[in-house]
Amino acid sequence: MISAYDYVVIAFYVGFMLCLGVVFRGLSKNTSDYFRCGGSMPWWITGSSAWLVTFSAWTFVGAASEVYRSGLKVLLLFYAAIPALIVVAWITAVRFRRMRVVTWMEAVRERFGPVSEQFYTWIKVPVELMKAGIGLMTIAVFMAAVFNVPINWVIVILGLTITIVAYAGGAFAVLASDFVQMLLVMTITLLAVILTLAQPEIGGLGGLIEKVDAQNPGHFQWWLNFRPAILLGWGFAFTCVKFTELNSMEYSTMYLMPKSEPHARRMVAIPLIGGIVGPLLWVLPPLAATVMFPDLAAVFPNLSKPTEGAFVAVALKVMPIGLIGLLLCAMFGATLTQMDAAVNKYVGVFVRSFYLPVVRPDAPEKHLLAVGKLCTLGFGVLIIVLGIVINTYRSTDVFTLLNQLMVSVGLPLTVPVFLGLFYLRTPGWSAWGTALAGFAFSAWANFIFKAQMAAPDFLARLPDAARAVLGNPEKALSAAERSDLLLVVTALGTLAVTLAVFFVSALFFDRPAAAPDRARAERFFTHLRTPLRPKEDAAMSDEPVYRMLGALCMVYGAFVLLLMLIPNGLVGRLCFLFVGGVIGGSGAVLYLIANKKRAQAALEAAPAP
């Protein structure tokens, strides 16, 4: 249960996050610093952020709910990103860094022109603010149920904390918080798994597999609950979606921050390794919840979707006093990572791609920096309002809501900025024209096809070939299968339509009217083929980042070590020793590296004898 010590842990964490903005506020001198850290970051900090931004409280809430209901099927979603990340490391990371822009939307302008830039700005910014609102709502709904407090107050408090961090420190504070979050998420997740498997009613990993298989055989034998064709299509659809997403211009934001091309390529190692190992750990507690808590509605009567409490129900049972507070901090931190990255990223898009070219083309950097900070506050308020509204009117679980939003709205916008990074011969209108075609198909899927699936004779009306692929024509589709089939049709159909429209537009590339498009696209691809010169690499030293981040990690690690004084048994005290030791030890290493960097810089600056 939640104790007074947990409240102290959470209060300290919130205060610590707020301090990050204050500590890093002096590093941002212009919009390049504020939105991409001046392109001066070492690979390990940008890699940590690139991995952490791929999940949020959704991992502990939405994905845990899907594991509780359907078993290890969710691994298809997690591992869909692995092929995409391999290509990022091999090819795309360097292309991202060579775009020589401050925000990814400026790359859209360089490749497709100002009309496409405005089209994307006015659609993408609201969509991403909505996604951030869903993320905020996700963690707030759960925390409100755990602490038995009004959800709207939780949304407001958490939203304000995130906004202040992003406002004060910009991208520097965002990356610093991401690194601390990564250490906290890793250590807490590992402890949750170890403590869960040690429970007598679980009996280790072998016992867990045996008990889950006995009670819910479909959790491991997926074909018992899902038609194989739908399951394979679901996994293939996510693989295609992730491949286009992670190799698109939009995903370049983190790769604009590393200090050089080698650092951009090296940073992929963290999300790649984390994406392989992490899911194997995250699925175990919600799997154990199927054994320990067969009726989650009785555990969380205030949750509208009780299965979303699977992960934390187990944690509340197995974790010692005070450690559940750290888990909630990790959940909040993962959400904070996604939200503050969204705020910083899309404030940058708004300022550089709308305010600068449309409202104030002659604005100096100092003015743009001030506007960026004001927009950060405004976007933060919008996300809080959206979180409250979405929670009031949502009718589906977080897992389904986010996935369908990603393929219905995100995918039509992603395909052009993915293909446009690798294929030159399309006119400027190919971006917005392709996106509109994708929107048309996803609208058909979500309104017409979805209604058709709800009909009792849906399977009977399908062509014989389609029924043969789906199998079991005498058995109606379950609600879960209908949801998955909708996603498959939306994703693969949108991909087919957008690919066709994009490449058909190439027929217009050589026409006289497309001459400006050809010149602009050729200039953009010339940049992609040209390695960065030394003066285009890091413009500032990363020594202050090592020093400040090292000091902050040591402070937070020391606080966690003090929690060993909480009256727990030996196991509880060792848990705090492990978490505090990892975070504090990492800080000490960073601080020592900073001292070496400072000494080396002083040596190089000293006059020759």
Percent of the chain with pLDDT over 90: 40
Give the pLDDT confidence of 454-472 residue by residue, as tens digits: 888 888 888 888 888 888 7
User: Looking at residues 412-434, what average pLDDT do you find?
Assistant: 96
In the predicted model, is pLDDT for residue 252 greater than 90? no
Q: Are 382 and 390 in contact (CB under 8 A)?
A: no
Give buried/exposed letters for 370-383 (b at 16+ CB in 10 A, else e).
ebbbebbbebbebb
Residues forming a β-bridge with 41: 258
Q: 10 Å Cβ neighbour count for 446? A: 17
Residue 572 binned pLDDT confidence (cut-offs 50, 70, 90): very high
Q: Are 278 and 62 in contact (CB under 8 A)?
A: no
- Give residue 24's Cα distance to chain centre: 23
More confident residue, 502 or 158: 502
Alpha carbons 392 and 396: distance in angstroms, whole number: 12
Alpha carbons 559 and 598: distance in angstroms, whole number: 27
Q: 10 Å Cβ neighbour count for 262? A: 14
Per-residue CA distances from 164 to 28, 72, 193, 352, 496 (Å): 15, 38, 33, 21, 42
User: Looking at residues 249-262, what average pLDDT do you find?
Assistant: 86
In the predicted model, is pLDDT for residue 316 greater than 90? no
User: Residues 6 or more apart from 6 whose CB is under 8 A from it?
Assistant: 321, 322, 324, 325, 328
In the predicted model, is pLDDT for residue 22 greater than 80? no
The whole-number pLDDT of residue 120 equals 93
Alpha carbons 58 and 141: distance in angstroms, whole number: 12
- Here the tokens at position 548 are 């400040």
Q: What is the DSSP string of 394-416?
A: --S-HHHHHHHHIIIIIHHHHHH
More confident residue, 401 or 88: 88
The whole-number pLDDT of residue 210 equals 95
Q: What's the DSSP call for residue 151?
A: H
Q: Are 587 and 551 in contact (CB under 8 A)?
A: yes
The whole-number pLDDT of residue 544 equals 78
Q: What's the DSSP call for residue 598?
A: H
More confident residue, 124 or 39: 124
In the predicted model, is pLDDT for residue 1 greater than 70? no
Alpha carbons 383 and 503: distance in angstroms, whole number: 36
Q: Are 33 and 170 in contact (CB under 8 A)?
A: yes
Place of tokens 């977080």: 398
The whole-number pLDDT of residue 31 equals 61
Alpha carbons 32 and 591: distance in angstroms, whole number: 26
Phi/psi for 42 (5° steps) reads: -75, 160
User: Residues 6 or more apart from 11 whose CB is under 8 A from it?
Assistant: none
User: Looking at residues 391-405, what average pLDDT do you find?
Assistant: 72
Q: Are 459 and 473 in contact (CB under 8 A)?
A: yes
The whole-number pLDDT of residue 464 equals 84
More confident residue, 159 or 581: 581
For the ranges 61-70, 232-241, 321-330, 400-409, the lowest mean pLDDT is seen at 400-409
> Which range has the top average pLDDT, 220-229, 241-250, 313-322?
241-250
Determine the 3-state secondary structure of 258 from DSSP.
strand
Give the pLDDT confidence of 270-308 residue by residue, as tens digits: 999 999 998 999 999 999 999 999 999 888 887 778 888
User: Looking at residues 552-556, what average pLDDT do you find?
Assistant: 92
The whole-number pLDDT of residue 136 equals 82
Determine the 3-state secondary structure of 19 from DSSP.
helix
Residue 375 binned pLDDT confidence (cut-offs 50, 70, 90): confident
In the predicted model, is pLDDT for residue 493 greater than 70? yes
Q: Are 80 and 232 in contact (CB under 8 A)?
A: no
Give the pLDDT confidence of 513-541 residue by residue, as tens digits: 888 889 999 999 999 999 987 554 444 56
Q: Are 100 and 536 in contact (CB under 8 A)?
A: yes
Percent of the chain with pLDDT over 70: 89
Phi/psi for 53 (5° steps) reads: -70, -15
Judged on CB neighbours under 10 Å (0-12, 13-18, 19+), 459 is: middle
Give the pLDDT confidence of 23-68 residue by residue, as tens digits: 666 555 666 666 666 667 888 888 887 887 766 667 787 788 889 9
The whole-number pLDDT of residue 537 equals 45
User: Residues 6 or more apart from 186 whose CB is under 8 A from it?
Assistant: 582
Determine the 3-state secondary structure of 41 from DSSP.
strand
Alpha carbons 311 and 518: distance in angstroms, whole number: 53
User: Residues 6 or more apart from 102 whose CB is under 8 A from it?
Assistant: 31, 32, 35, 36, 256, 348, 352
Instruction: With residue 51 as reference, give the H or E element that holds it.
Output: helix 43-52
CA-wise closest residue to 64 among 53, 55, 54, 74: 74
In the predicted model, is pLDDT for residue 20 greater than 80? no
Alpha carbons 448 and 459: distance in angstroms, whole number: 15
Alpha carbons 17 and 1: distance in angstroms, whole number: 25
* Mean pLDDT, the chain, integer: 86
Residue 440 binned pLDDT confidence (cut-offs 50, 70, 90): very high
User: Looking at residues 153-158, what average pLDDT do you find?
Assistant: 85
Q: Are 407 and 488 in contact (CB under 8 A)?
A: no
